[in-house]
Amino acid sequence: MLGRVDAAVLVPLFLRHGDLHAVLTRRRDDLRRHAGEISFPGGRQDEGDADLRRTALREAEEEIGLPAAAVELVGALQPTPTIATNYAVYPFVGLIEPGHVWRPSADEVAEVLEFSLAELRAGRGRRRLVRRGIAFRTECYVVQRPAGEGVTSHLVWGATARMLGDLLWRLERAAG
């Protein structure tokens, strides 16, 4: 068992101008767990969920307003453990059409982010982070975006970065 609590995320992908994009969320800063972090929409499996695929689809609808009927599930990535919260996260990859109007959950999601996989790949690296007073080096992805008169830096790390690494590796292998 990877973790004590099963959870699932949806890795929504869409094509825009020939480039594959991923949809992620930035969690609210006042949440008890993973506050302010960038992640795929998802969460714990509920008793009513028939399986973890249903969990991923339900959570995506709750968190970003993406209807399950708008998602074509095409595969799954390697299950990924979370270290701090002891989850076993099962990522499911789904294709969607571009141009969705996102309806972020006011309770959980600060914003919905759309990044091209090329942007994510270009921002891949290792960084020194400090969490709960502990310094460590970890793989991460940084996407820089213009914001007002400056630039906003979006940092993807932890379990989400490991899932992205798996996704990018698989796509590179498939491309030859």
Contact partners, residue 11, CB within 8 Å, separation at least 6:
22, 40, 77, 91, 92, 93, 94, 163, 167
Q: Is the pLDDT of residue 84 over 80?
A: no
Q: What is the pLDDT of residue 138?
A: 86
| Amino acid making up residue 15 | L
CATH classification of 5-175, choosing from 3.60.10.10, 2.40.128.110, 3.90.79.10, 3.30.1490.110? 3.90.79.10
- For the chain, give every domain's residue range: 5-175
Entry pTM:
0.92
Q: Is the pLDDT higher at 175 or at 23?
A: 23
Question: Average pLDDT in the 46-58 region?
Answer: 95
pLDDT > 90: percent of the chain: 71
* Distances, alpha carbon 58 to alpha carbons 48, 63, 108, in Å: 10, 9, 14
Q: Is the pLDDT higher at 52 or at 29?
A: 52
Contact partners, residue 83, CB within 8 Å, separation at least 6:
158
Spatial distance between the Cα atoms of 31 and 34, rounded to a whole number of angstroms: 7
